Amino acid sequence: MNNVFTFGCRLNFWESEKINKILIDNKKYNLTVFNTCSVTNETVKNIVSSIKKFHLRNPDMKIAVTGCAAETNFETFNNMNEVSFVIKNNKKLLEESWKKLPTKKTLTNLHEKDLIKLKKVNPSNSKVRKFIRIQNGCDHSCTFCIIPKCRGKSISESIENINKEIEVSLNNNIKEIILTGVDLTSWGLDIKKNLFLGDLLRNIFLNNNKYFRLRLSSLDVAELDETFFEVLKEDVRLMPHFHFSLQSLNNMILKRMKRRHSVEQVKELFEKIKTISPNASFGADIITGFPTETDEMFLDTKKVIEDLKVSHLHVFPYSEKNGTPASKMPQISLEVRRKRAKALRELGKKIYLSELKKQLFNKHEVLIENKNGIGKTANNFKVKLKNKSVGNIVNVTLSKIKDNFLLV
């Protein structure tokens, strides 16, 4: 049973899994939860629309809303007739928050369309991959971001708890662990001075002798420590795909965003990773049309993305959030923001295909993730193989491309 619709980041998916377990343990069978995201205004509009459509198809099902948008848009959801409960983001993992809700203990069947959607969109349904939260919150103050208001200050999970969750996962035949958090690279700084993400990675590998694949969610250029690079050299279990929260690749815009890295630091970092792991691939979050971004500034970003061959792009038109410093800056028209986002996405497709071709006629380790034989290489390119069982890690030479998948 899964009765949680999840929007937004990988961290939300990990939290949704925890919420769903609480619902099952407390027999909240006629309650569906919308675990929300507030990264853009468009996202919030889509969530509101999804709730209304869901209610029309499932009028007897109670609806609860939680997540970041429950903080930033509390009144919006609290005033919706379709919504029975709004749970604040910092209360959503507390069993008491759900246990006390007045719901029936009899099973309410969902509309078939929603059952399919819940199964399709939730990565936690995977039998071979597992998200594990190592950190929550953020201590920084990027001018466009409202997440610190939603999630509070950075808090790290203990090494002991992380290793315990990894051990349980591996004993349940999980083959790939994805460490996630709001500000992943700040892990450890609230526990002890000079304790960094690299130290955690080394400890994880020392405490687990089994072979498994370890991936990292979004990283901050300014916070990667030297031990991280040592681990990358030492242990092949750290998968060579790294996604960075870049947001822009123009130094003036980065300053106005109050980001803590420069374009030069990004270039230096990518080169350093490539020196250690030549087959590494890169992803990035980019915001287009940030206030005061000129055409020339945007072209700077576009050129550096092309030069660095960033193959996995997540592009968002800038979305002003009330109360943020950026919302008070001179705004770029929505049309221009979307036009620039479209241009970057098209560039991203070209780079992805170009980098995909470089994988041909090389041997790759592939984890089979589902019954259709779909999986990913270590450096995160999609593969489709025939006659392979879910959970198998195979070494294959890939020789063809079809529909952006690598084939044997």
Same structural domain, 72 and 129: no
pLDDT given at position 108: 66
pLDDT confidence of residue 132: 96
Tell me: do 97 and 171 sit in the same domain: no
CB 30 within 8 A of CB 1: no
Does residue 145 share a domain with residue 133? yes
Q: Which residues of 22-41 are buried (b: 16+ CB within 10 A; e: fewer)?
A: bbeebebbbbbbbbbbbbbe
Mean pLDDT, consecutive 10-residue segments, the chain of 408 residues? 83 91 88 91 92 93 94 94 94 92 71 68 70 95 92 95 96 96 96 96 96 97 96 98 98 98 98 98 98 98 98 96 94 98 98 98 95 95 91 95 96
pLDDT at position 30: 86
The last residue of one of the domains, among 121, 138, 158, is 121
CA distances to 200, 281, 313 from 274, in Å: 22, 9, 18
Q: Are 321 and 398 contained in the same domain?
A: no
CA dist 276 → 105, 239, 270, 279 (Å)? 55, 12, 10, 9
Asked which of 325, 342, 357 is the last residue of a domain, the reply is 357
Domain shared by 88 and 130, yes or no: no
How much is the pLDDT for 141? Answer: 94
Q: Which two tokens stand for residue 335?
A: 């049309």
Structural domain range at position 306: 125-357
pLDDT value at position 104? 66
Does 9 share its domain with 50? yes
Looking at the structure, do residues 129 and 117 belong to the same domain, yes or no? no
The first and second tokens of residue 366, run together, are: 């592939």
| Closest among 382, 381, 246 to 314, alpha carbons compared | 246
Q: Assess whether 157 and 217 both reside in one domain.
A: yes
Structurally, the chain folds into a number of domains equal to: 3
Q: Is residue 234 domain-shared with residue 130, that is, in the same domain? A: yes
Q: Is 66 in contact with 46 (CB distance < 8 Å)?
A: no
Q: Please spell the DSSP secondary structure of 362-392, one letter per residue.
A: SEEEEEE-STT-EEEETT--EEE-SS--TT-
* Same-domain status, 53 and 117: yes
Tokens of 40: 């853009």
Residues 9 and 54 in one domain: yes
Cα–Cα distance, 21 to 43 (Å, whole number): 26
CATH number at residue 191: 3.80.30.20
Tokens coding 373 = 């034989």
Supply the pLDDT for residue 107. Answer: 65
Q: Give the residue from 121, 154, 180 where a domain finishes.
A: 121
Contacts 24+ apart (CB under 8 A), 74-83: 76/44, 76/48, 77/48, 77/51, 80/48, 80/51, 80/52, 82/51, 82/52, 82/54, 82/55, 83/51
| Strands 129-133 and 85-86, bridge-based pairing | unpaired
H or E element in which residue 216 lies: strand 213-216
Q: For residue 111, what pLDDT is reported?
A: 73
Say if residue 215 is in the same domain as residue 258.
yes
